[in-house]
Structure 1
Amino acid sequence: MANKRLDYLDNIRWITVTLVVVYHIIYLFNNSGVISNINVKGIPVMDSFLIFVYPWFMCLLFVIAGISSRYSLEKRADKEFIKDRIQRILVPSLLGIFIYGWISSLITSQYVDMFAGNGDMIPGIIKYLIYCLAGIGPLWFCHVLFIGSLLIILIRKADKKDRLTEVCRKIKLPVLFAMVFLVWGSSFILNTPLITVYRFGIYLLMMLLGYYVFSNQELMIKLEKISIPLTIISVVIGILYVVTYYGQNFADNNVLSDLFTNIYLWIGILSILGIGSKFLNFKNRFTQYMTENNFNFYILHYVVVLSLGYFIVTYLNLLFMINYILILLGTIIILPLLIEIVKRIPIVRYMVLGIKK
């Protein structure tokens, strides 16, 4: 039974990471007022995809991470778990800021004067550090993920008899659906000001729910049984959500803290976990490859997407739909090649991908 869960969870994870890649291709040229590294507007209707996936796809990754943490801690000690997280998540996400994070800021500087006209007066090393810190990009996910891992260990230490797990094992479907109000409440707390990227409240809650609630196989079986009608409801709500927020800044904190947003993201996550359990319980060479490389794809995809996007829209005068297609095809070709090259370079593979051997 454990293998069954791991197969569909792995598939949900890499499929979601694929959605993140597609999201960023379209996001670069969004017309919704969401801040992007490239100040070029694309096809407005493409924003519909962004609005449809944005409320739930990162929350879903944290839920999956929480479930996976439960399985991992069943096989290893707390110290070994944290050591693994330091190597595979923290190190590459911190060093990545300084190895390739500057590229994002350098491209941004082609559209925005980041130094208010004083760039010539700032020493190169200072400009480099500013570029790096402004180029964290998608690596924020890894930072919150590591903090969530530490939080799980702290709660395990405090709750040595694991009473919280016993309580969560008693949760039934009506209570699970009602937890949307808990999710909604978490959307108001521990958010970074101005640009809402580090949403610690809701993301840490999602990881804890993954660990304590969604790791309950009996509950997942019940979700699986209602997964088809639940998915239909989720898609309908998603369409209504897109219609409601089309043309607005869908990443604005006021939108993210709206009850409608949180109802949609919660129903969406429940339906994906249920439908995934029902139909994604399989493994083949392709899914195994995607599973083994999903983290690598995540941390390196944006620099590839952004670089391709900049060069294509700057130096090629094409129909914009072709721009999207070229960036997607280029990413499909370049990203796996880049990962395989990095994997084969000692030290660099550890610094960038967290791989020792």
Structure 2
Amino acid sequence: MRKYYIDHLRTFLILLLFPFHTLRMYTLTESFYIEGTPHIIPTLFISITSIWFMNLLFVLAGMSTAYSIQKRSIKEYCKERFSKLLMPFIFGVVLTVPIQTYYAERFHNGYTGSFIEQYGLFFTKITDLSGYKGGLTPAHLWFLLFLFLISILSLPIINFVKKNGRKPLKKGNLWRMIPLFFIIQIFSIIEIGERIGQYMTYFIIGFLVLSREENLEEIQKNQMPLAIGAISLLAISSLLDMMGVLGKINSIGIFNLLTVAISAVRHAASWLTILALIGFGRKYLTGTNKIFSYLAKASFGIYFIHQTVIITIGYYVLPLVPYRSVQSLVIMILSFIATIAIYVVLKRCPVLNTLFGMKKSQPVRLEHVVEIG
């Protein structure tokens, strides 16, 4: 049976990228490639969304892998990971990411040289790898690299499950699933620029726990209590973030009890939000239509293209359009239209199609329902 809700959750996350990366231009907390006038509302939106957004993508990736290996060998799985993740990452960093840092150099540093000259600067200017003010960066494509690495590092677990199967469960137990956020919190201290330990844990939990129908039924049955808990913890976590923005809470060290407690609230908020969304999705997002089917197929391409388009359009819209709300709306709409248009063009170019991991259109199989997640 097709898991349409996975398609729809992924589509929701992909569409959320447009307001997310547009509003990143207006946050009070962190720099970005280009910036508008900061405000508390975009900052609050980013704070709430960033708690669970990427984590859910890795959970969906783990769930998708569990379905994928039912029909693929480990060798086929590794080959697909290479062609769909690592190759697009490499060619994306070489061919598209320098466009983002070109506009970052112009915006933050008053750069007046040509794009070709900046292209050389991109590979020689080493900073913190964010690229927000120019220099070498993977930009948003870090996700592809991390998902590739996590997929490969998880192979012993994946191979064991494929060879030995799973022990049957009579019934899922929600109270055994909820405390898993403590494990996620522990492994979140493993970082390589981003928290690769945290994301790998979400991936493995998606693979081992959230691909079990018994557990999914239990989550669906308790979707409302999970949602109430998630909303409450998201509100508390965001309040703590805002207090940090206002200077009320300072960084006090990773092993300080207050820091650990705040981290636990964030991880619990993320985990309950993910469980609630999966529960609601499994219950209500059971069908499909032509629009969602198209977006499911296009999701990888949209992800790959969107941020470069947002930054390019934003660079020209910010000085021309007055009012923050109008600016952000114009950027979002134009970026979405331009991203779809570019995707359509790229799909018709076989070479770029292959390099960027966007193979010729075909019906979306179950094992492909989370292409970027």
The TM-score, its normalising length taken from structure 1, stands at 0.87
User: Take 1:129 and 1:151, find their aligned partners in 2: how far apart are those partners?
Assistant: 28
Matched, 1:98 2:94: yes
1:54-104 deviations in Å (ceiling 9; x for gaps): 011100000001110111110111111111121122111110001111011
Name the structure 2 match of 1:22: 19
Distance 1:318 1:152, change over 3 A: same
User: Take 1:321 and 1:63, find their aligned partners in 2: how far apart are those partners?
Assistant: 33
Q: Which residue of 72, 81, 87 maps to 2:83?
A: 87
What is the CA distance between 1:317 and its match in structure 2? 4.2
Distance 1:213 1:114, change over 3 A: farther
Matched, 1:178 2:172: no
State how 1:202-351 maps to structure 2 within 5 Å.
Answer: 202-246=198-242, 248=244, 258-314=263-319, 316-351=320-355
1:193-237 deviations in Å (ceiling 9; x for gaps): xxx4x2110001111111111000111011001102321221232
User: Take 2:231 and 2:118, find their aligned partners in 1: how far apart are those partners?
Assistant: 50
Contact 2:62 2:203 survives alignment (8 Å)? yes
1:183 is aligned with what amino acid? I
Q: Which deviates the most, 83-92 or 170-179?
A: 170-179
Matched, 1:109 2:105: yes
Distance 1:157 1:73, change over 3 A: closer
Matched, 1:166 2:171: no
2:210 is aligned with what amino acid? F
Name the structure 1 match of 2:64: 68
1:229-278 deviations in Å (ceiling 9; x for gaps): 3212212322232222126469x996797111111111111111111111
Q: CA RMSD in A?
A: 2.9
Contact 1:168 1:212 survives alignment (8 Å)? no
User: Take 1:105 and 1:152, find their aligned partners in 2: how far apart are those partners?
Assistant: 33
What is the CA distance between 1:333 and its match in structure 2? 1.1
1:141-188 deviations in Å (ceiling 9; x for gaps): 11111112212323234567537x439998621110111211111111
What is the CA distance between 1:37 and its match in structure 2? 0.8
What is the CA distance between 1:299 and its match in structure 2? 1.2
What is the CA distance between 1:288 and its match in structure 2? 0.6
User: Take 2:331 and 2:26, find their aligned partners in 1: how far apart are those partners?
Assistant: 12
Q: 3-state DSSP class of the match of 2:287?
A: coil
User: Take 1:143 and 1:294, find their aligned partners in 2: how far apart are those partners?
Assistant: 17
Contact 1:25 1:324 survives alignment (8 Å)? yes
Q: 3-state DSSP class of the match of 1:41?
A: coil
Distance 1:14 1:249, change over 3 A: farther
User: Take 1:99 and 1:185, find their aligned partners in 2: how far apart are those partners?
Assistant: 37
Show structure 1 runs of 5+ residues with no match. Answer: none
User: Take 2:169 and 2:197, find their aligned partners in 1: how far apart are those partners?
Assistant: 19
1:166 is aligned with what amino acid? K
Distance 1:304 1:247, change over 3 A: farther
Contact 2:181 2:271 survives alignment (8 Å)? yes
Q: 3-state DSSP class of the match of 1:111?
A: helix
User: Take 1:335 and 1:111, find their aligned partners in 2: how far apart are those partners?
Assistant: 22
Name the structure 1 match of 2:153: 151
**How many residues get paired?**
342
Show structure 2 runs of 5+ residues with no match. Answer: 126-130, 362-373
Distance 1:337 1:84, change over 3 A: same
The TM-score, its normalising length taken from structure 2, stands at 0.83
User: Take 2:305 and 2:180, find their aligned partners in 1: how far apart are those partners?
Assistant: 34
Contact 1:231 1:275 survives alignment (8 Å)? no
Distance 1:35 1:124, change over 3 A: closer
Name the structure 2 match of 1:11: 8
Q: Which deviates the most, 12-21 or 265-274?
A: 12-21
User: Take 1:289 and 1:175, find their aligned partners in 2: how far apart are those partners?
Assistant: 37
1:281 is aligned with what amino acid? T
